[in-house]
Structure 1
């Protein structure tokens, strides 16, 4: 089962800059079955690799679907340097998956689309609150602490 909700008000224990990486795919043509399943299967393999080896820098993630054809993963990273190092590491799962996607994309005529966005959020430009929730999002990735340590109001936490 999942983890128990934290009953008091807490906030993220993140210190310094926060790196948020969003990545996803969209199936544009269902009948192009040879093109989209390999793309869909690549992400869970990368997430397993990153989850097993914490030294790679991914702190946590959440996967979401937006209807039957769009998939998104929100990832939290220690640093943008570690994110970029993973993306370019030839002996890790991302590099061969990216090369395979590019080979397939030439003949796929848009059957499947991929996207990503990277956000480096400076310290003092993010805040979070969790109440009655198990660890989630930024709080799950960086841990949580009592709200009082960072300020009872969002404006106080943003000034941190």
Structure 2
């Protein structure tokens, strides 16, 4: 593994230590960023994009931690990686209101993302959705409906990942439970 990618994976592992994925039986959270990095690596060999995939969720944390993490990413991996992570970091906070309001804020932010940022968001959604229907069918429907709304905002991202996410989402979005 490229030493820069190892740095990114090590930082993500450290910063997600003790976190578990929702709707699992205690699955360590780091499994998600590693999977997202693998999905991104399937469509690009740019280390910056893969490194950002490892780190894509590390800035969704308390404000007192965020600035320090941004500085570490900048110093250790450079401005391009930091900017990609910022592009896909959801800006909404629980205090912004109900989920639909927060997701609208996040989509407005995503609309400004670069093609690489869009690719990263697609990879994130693909992995999040990959077995969600098994783990939580009710939330899977909500998630699918939310992700359909990002499809028009990610047309400049990887066409392969866009098609893959579209194919995953469509069966659920037409269901009426």
Q: TM-score, normalised by structure 1?
A: 0.29
Hey, which of these two has a bigger chunk of strand by percent?
A: 1
Larger % of helix: which?
2
Find the structure with the greater CA-based Rg.
Answer: 1
